[in-house]
Amino acid sequence: MMDSLLSWLFSSEKEELYILDCMAYLMFLMAACTYVTLLFENVPYGRYATSKYGFPVNVRFAWFVQELPAFMVPLCLVLWTSSAKTSLLPNQLLIVMYFCHYVHRKNGGQKKNIQGSVLWLVGWLVNMHSDHILRNLRKPGETGYKIPTGGMFEYVSGANFLGEITEWAGFALAGHSVHSSAFAIFTTVVLASRAVAHHKWYLAKFEDYPKSRKALIPFVF
Ligand SMILES: NC(=O)c1ccc[n+]([C@@H]2O[C@H](COP(=O)([O-])OP(=O)(O)OC[C@H]3O[C@@H](n4cnc5c(N)ncnc54)[C@H](OP(=O)(O)O)[C@@H]3O)[C@@H](O)[C@H]2O)c1
């Protein structure tokens, strides 16, 4: 069924690649637009929540609905297409990296593939560890915000975002394609802005916030 859907969507592999390229370039454009928008407005969630854009939605439900296609579409393609691409080891590694990220919540140069995979793994561990720290800051029933400590939070306010940006940078290095690069750049734009916003918010909210802590890049930014 997936095979017939794919052959209905794309008449040839060349056309499939052309559409993927177009989508990647569109993502670069979206990253630029998002970057400009985020200079003027914080994403209205969590501590920045506002009813300006409509009624509030349950966070878990919204997250689930938003992420579902990003998980289900690749899963269906892997499970129910006979594409030879998924039988190649470098591609399998990329697929494992991708799904590992979503469970937590091609071909090319082998060196880049290994370096990228290592970078991805480091980022994944930092992201998971940092999210774990954040989610355990509140005792049951508490609702406020506290200063996060431990792990990469000793160096940056956006440790979970740094982890995720590193993950997708590693993924882009391993995949070394315009498509994985578009994804990494879009993620960087979105998450770097969150890290900067959180950092400014912490500095304004907590007088005793560690002054040496940076927003996203240890010792630098
Ligand atoms: N790939 C992408 O494009 C993308 C986009 C967005 C997010 N993400 C990933 O999704 C994960 C969560 O992102 P997020 O923006 O929701 O992260 P976040 O703002 O840091 O919040 C994560 C969780 O920790 C809580 N929290 C954060 N800071 C806290 C503090 N100082 N004291 C107490 N609780 C605190 C938040 O509560 P509240 O909800 O009450 O604030 C929320 O439940 C991250 O790993 C991020 O990298 C990825």
- Model pLDDT for residues 42-91, shown as the tens digit of each residue: 999 999 998 888 888 888 899 899 999 999 998 998 888 887 788 888 88
Q: Please name the residue whose Cα sits nearest to atom 27 of ligand 1.
A: 134
- CB of 161 closer than 6 angstroms to any ligand 1 atom: yes
- Residue 106 pLDDT: 47
Q: Which residue has the tokens 């005792």?
A: 139
User: Which numbered atom of ligand 1 lies nearest the CA of 138?
Assistant: 33
Instruction: Confirm or reject: Cβ of 190 under 6 Å from ligand 1.
Output: yes
Yes or no: say if 158 and 191 are a contact pair by the CB < 8 Å rule: yes
134 close to ligand 1 (CB < 6 Angstrom): yes
**Any atom of ligand 1 within 6 Å of the Cβ of 137:** yes
Looking at residues 207-220, what average pLDDT do you find?
98
- What distance lies between CA 197 and its chain's CA centroid? 17
Report the pLDDT averaged over residues 196-202.
98
Characterize 136-168 residue by residue with b for buried, 16 or more Cβ atoms within 10 angstroms of its Cβ, and e for exposed: eeeeeeeeebeebeebbbebbbbbbbbbbbbbb
Atom of ligand 1 nearest to the CA of 161: 47
Average pLDDT over residues 129-152: 97
149: nearest Cα among 164, 134, 171: 134
Q: Is the CB of 46 under 6 A from ligand 1?
A: yes
How many A from CA of 194 to the centre of ligand 1? Answer: 9
Q: Is 188 in the pocket of ligand 1 (CB under 6 A)?
A: no
Q: What confidence category does residue 109 fall into, taking pLDDT thresholds of 50, 70 and 90?
A: low
| 117 contact partners, CB below 8 Å, separation of at least 6 | 93, 97, 170, 174
Query: CA nearest 38: which of 187, 208, 213?
Result: 187
Q: Residue 103: pLDDT above 80? A: no
Atom of ligand 1 nearest to the CA of 164: 47
Q: In a mutational test of the pocket of ligand 1, which residue from 160, 183, 203 has the highest number of ligand atoms less than 8 Å from its CB?
A: 160
Q: At 151, is the secondary structure helix, strand, or coil?
A: helix
Top pLDDT among 218 and 49 is at 218
Q: Rounded to the nearest 5 degrees, what angle is found at the Cα of 162, between the Cα atoms of 157 and 163?
A: 120
Mean pLDDT of the 185-213 span = 98
Cβ of 211 closer than 6 Å to ligand 1, yes or no, is: no
> Max Cα separation, the chain?
61
Q: 84 alpha carbon to ligand 1 midpoint, in Å?
A: 38
What mean pLDDT comes out for the span 6-21? 91
pTM of the model: 0.93
Structure tokens, 176: 């070394």
In this prediction, what percent of the chain has a pLDDT beyond 70?
98
**Taking all residues of the chain, what is their mean pLDDT, rounded to a whole number?**
93
